[in-house]
Amino acid sequence: MAVAVLLISLVDSYVLLKHEHFSQLFWFCNSVIYLLAIGLYFRNSMMLTGVFTGAMVVQIPWVLDFLLRLFFGYSLFGITSYMFDYGFDNIRFYLELDHLLIIPLSIYGIKKTGFHKKGWVFASVVALAINTGAYLFSSTADNVNCVFYSCFSDKIIANAHPLAYMLGWTFLLCILFYIFNKITYKTLNRKENKI
């Protein structure tokens, strides 16, 4: 499983680098899929929990937007419109579907290794590293990981203090990771104690 995920990641990165600027590798989905492959290979509970926690916070809007647009023609947030600009005959459309793999494969890994109480710490460190890279190497127009302004805005609204915005956005993500991780851990423990 891990080798297949790694191969998908490598092909995705190759095609991305062929058509885009390397800063596009700092999108959560493009970076975290490598961590998912490593976590699956080494059966690392903290890494897999961190990937799952991060994906549940940052990938759910993408997944919902994509599925609603695909099946009902309705765009919830407008963040996946680029997928349909590619079209169904473009390999990039299918490579971008790695978004749909992250959550189910991290759940699969967690079922094998267990849910780690401090997975949110791993997710937070990764978010800080990835967002720092996105801030340093992407442009305001690309807005990788929404580090310059909200991805849910239909127009570019550059913040007067972009570094403060990026740090605040990353801190908010870390808080959401902590809350989600804590709730999930308590819920899973409650279920285990009832059995």
pLDDT tens string 90-121 = 999 999 999 999 999 999 999 999 999 999 99
pLDDT at 190: 84
pLDDT tens string 122-144 = 999 999 999 999 999 999 889 99
How would residue 155 be classed by pLDDT, with cut points 50, 70 and 90? low
- Amino acid in the structure at residue 137: F
Question: Would you say the pTM of this structure is higher than 0.85?
Answer: yes
Mean of per-residue pLDDT scores for the chain: 93
Report d(CA 176, CA 98) in Å as an integer. Answer: 23
Residue 148 φ/ψ, nearest 5 degrees: -105, -30
pLDDT tens string 12-55 = 999 999 999 999 999 999 999 999 999 999 999 999 999 999 99
